[in-house]
Amino acid sequence: MFQVHAAKGPEVPLQPWEPGDVLGLALDFSSGKMQLSHQGTWHTEAGYSMDFQSNGRDLYPAVTMKWGMFRLRLGREAWIYQPPSAKHRPWAAGVGEWASEALLGDRSWGFDAQLLARKPRMIGLGALGDCEAPRSASSWFVAGLPELSRSSGKFYYELRLLSRPESPRVGWATADFSGGAIGGDPESFAFEGWRMMKWNAGLSSQAALKPWRPGDVLGLAVDLDAGKMSLRCHRDDGWLRIKSVSLEEARRMLQASIDDGDISDSELSEVVTFLGQEGRILEEDRSDDTVYIEMSDGNATWVPATMLKALLEDEEPEDVREMHFDPKGRKLHPAASMLGGFRCYLGRDAWLYEPPGAEYEAWGSGVFEWAPEDWRAGSTCAGKPCLVGLRCLRPTELPMEEGWRDGFQELRSLWLTAGAKEAARGSGKLYHEIQLISDLSNPQVGWMSTKFKEGEQDGNGLGDDEEGYGFDGDRHLQWKAGKSMKVKIQPWKQGTVLGLAIDLDAGVMRLSHQGKWHNENEEGYIIKAELTGRDWYPAISMRGFYQMHLDRRTWRFTPPSPDYEAWASGIFEWAPQHF
């Protein structure tokens, strides 16, 4: 173990390096100090730092080794760990590498470590070419929707990157796609936000793309008749970027933003510590125009919203790129290949942004994904919420007010009644789950009949009339056809998974908590009623966000017995799409 320092190499006690290790290297020109971290740990021992004198020289990252392959993560978006302080900046954007394509499955690469242990699931998508659906979330994968192939028209879809992607290519393929990465053969086309390239039927060229990051939404449009493809990268990672300016410049900008044109030293001190940092809004108080903001250094405080807005960096322009191809009567469908989870928004009602023109059509309906279970776990809700796969019952339309978080605060406080009305059944045994993914209040979770009257929000929801039955783990109630009854039931909280089983013929409704089914003596977990003669469907009235697991592939636990069926297939949720 040696340090190599300006041609001299003293022996030092470094930890041995192994394949897969991530080394962090920090350089401070002003103090003349170089530092090394191992697997994200910055050590104070000798050997992990050394002093130097630049003597007017320009330095750059470099590697020498006798054998082996490596990847240089230069851009902040590619870092796995953190620098020793917030003052350390990235060298550049993107990555550099000396590596073999065979290393794509290496678990040490960028896929978020906390997701690796979670069981992956594929909903709505199919494996393409000679690729099989992988069993591990850390495996490289090629997926598409060949059943939606089209040969003429204008079509649009969106793809969200759920994790730090490795070698991501997104685009289109034909039914004759032979396998491998999308764009690498004559029957597929793709954009790649890793090496910044376009792949046109096997031919590659450099593209002026910005590196893709977790949370990016890629809008992909194709004109099959004109032979034109376009990509638009939408970035809303929930972080606000504050300008790096001098104290006097900050004072001038703040004075220009307020009515009386004057700012005190105490007011200036509230925001001066944030200059040059990134932050995210945790809470907003419109009564006094203040926001509670957490900065990248971990500090958080209330600051006047007007002052904060005055110091924000201009939003990054959307990254739009085009590619022309020879249609040749090809029938194309959406496709993607990468190491990492993603979600496809196919239906117009699920799109988060707008296509290039009103004439662009949706490929299909719904939301599909390749992702680990509970990929939202541990994340913070942000951005515009969307109702995916469910019907808005009361109110019949979602109110939207533009604000700091694109309507997030208003919709988060909405007591919404929604359900899967299109899945209604009149007989049989059915099972589904509700996973609570935020704080909640006044939940009424269960089933409604198709006779429930939709309308404006009036304080009534599931179980408030004779067309609904449900459970309430917040106020410890059962809601039965317009009547509520106090019961003993385990409290619900964020992360809880509720199992709901209904026997429409026997008139028995049951509730489980985190997979546990209670016996019939525990009355809080069972409801009996006459259900025949009407069609019923899963529904919920609640203030808070959730996922409704109607598809068997999304179930976390099991129904009371094997003869219970799933209501439907696909993804159903009321949730923010930014995490």
- Domain check: are 556 and 453 in the same one? yes
Q: Where are the beta strands (DSSP E) in 340-425?
A: 342-345, 361-362, 367-372, 382-388, 391-394, 415-419
- Domain check: are 400 and 335 in the same one? no
Domain endpoint, select from 68, 99, 130: 99
Question: In total, how many domains does the chain have?
Answer: 4
Asked whether residue 451 is assigned to any structural domain, the reply reads yes
pLDDT for 272 beyond 80:
no
Q: Tell which residue, 381, 380, 384, has the closest CA to residue 406.
A: 384
- Domain check: are 29 and 82 in the same one? yes
Q: Say which CATH number the domain at 327 has.
A: 2.60.120.920
Cα–Cα dist 124/177, whole Å: 19
The pLDDT of residue 536 is 97
pLDDT for 8 beyond 60:
no
Torsion-angle region of residue 179: left (phi > 0), alpha (psi -120 to 50) or beta?
A: left
Cα–Cα dist 427/510, whole Å: 16
Q: Say which CATH number the domain at 260 has.
A: 2.30.30
- Domain check: are 387 and 531 in the same one? yes
Among 33-42, 133-142, 258-267, name the one with the lowest average pLDDT. Answer: 258-267
Query: Strand, coil or helix: what is 215?
Result: coil
The pLDDT of residue 577 is 67
pLDDT for 378 beyond 70:
no
- Domain check: are 189 and 324 in the same one? yes
Q: Which residues contact 104 (CB under 8 A, 6 or more apart)?
A: 140, 166, 167, 339
Cα–Cα dist 411/543, whole Å: 9
The pLDDT of residue 338 is 87
- Domain check: are 206 and 341 in the same one? yes
The pLDDT of residue 402 is 46
Burial 178-212 (b: 16+ CB within 10 A, else e): eebbbbbbebbbbbbbbbbbbbbbeeeeebebbbb
The answer to whether the beta carbons of residues 240 and 182 sit under 8 Å apart is no
Asked whether residue 5 is assigned to any structural domain, the reply reads no
**Bigger pLDDT: 252 vs 426:** 426
Share of the chain above pLDDT 90, in %: 39
Q: Which residues contact 209 (CB under 8 A, 6 or more apart)?
A: 191, 192, 193, 196, 197, 231, 233, 319, 321
Q: Mean pLDDT, to the nearest integer, of 6-16? A: 67
Asked whether residue 18 is assigned to any structural domain, the reply reads no
Asked whether residue 1 is assigned to any structural domain, the reply reads no
Cα–Cα dist 218/198, whole Å: 14
| Half-sphere exposure at residue 128, Cβ-oriented, CA atoms within 13 angstroms | 31
Asked whether residue 267 is assigned to any structural domain, the reply reads yes
The pLDDT of residue 375 is 60
Q: Mean pLDDT, to the nearest integer, of 185-210? A: 89
Share of the chain above pLDDT 70, in %: 79
Residue 313 has what DSSP assignment?
P
The one-letter amino acid at 323: M
Asked whether residue 105 is assigned to any structural domain, the reply reads no
Asked whether residue 4 is assigned to any structural domain, the reply reads no
> What is the average pLDDT score of the chain?
81
Domain endpoint, select from 294, 310, 326: 310
What is the H or E stretch that residue 247 is in? helix 247-257
Burial 363-402 (b: 16+ CB within 10 A, else e): bbebbbbbbbbbbbeeeebbbbbbbbbbbebbbeebeeee
Asked whether residue 15 is assigned to any structural domain, the reply reads no
The residue segments making up the domain with residue 288 are: 240-310
The answer to whether the beta carbons of residues 224 and 152 sit under 8 Å apart is yes
- Domain check: are 477 and 543 in the same one? yes
Q: How confident is the model at residue 137 (pLDDT cuts 50, 70, 90)?
A: low
Tokens of 307: 């002052």
Q: How confident is the model at residue 559 (pLDDT cuts 50, 70, 90)?
A: very high
The answer to whether the beta carbons of residues 74 and 94 sit under 8 Å apart is yes
- Bridge partners, 322 (sequence order): 230
List the Cα angle 217/223/224 in 5-degree steps: 120
pLDDT for 270 beyond 70:
no
DSSP sequence for 333-348: EEEEEEES-EEEE-SG
Q: How confident is the model at residue 105 (pLDDT cuts 50, 70, 90)?
A: very low
Hunting for tokens 């490596």 — which residue is that? 70
Domain endpoint, select from 326, 354, 372: 372
Q: Mean pLDDT, to the nearest integer, of 104-127? A: 52
- Domain check: are 361 and 484 in the same one? no
- Domain check: are 95 and 151 in the same one? no
H-helix segments, 320-474: 408-412
The answer to whether the beta carbons of residues 284 and 291 sit under 8 Å apart is yes
**Bigger pLDDT: 482 vs 403:** 482
- Domain check: are 393 and 352 in the same one? no
pLDDT tens readout for residues 311-362: 776 655 555 789 999 988 889 999 999 888 898 999 888 888 899 999 999 9
- Domain check: are 144 and 215 in the same one? yes
Cα–Cα dist 157/351, whole Å: 7
**Bigger pLDDT: 409 vs 440:** 440
- Domain check: are 119 and 204 in the same one? yes
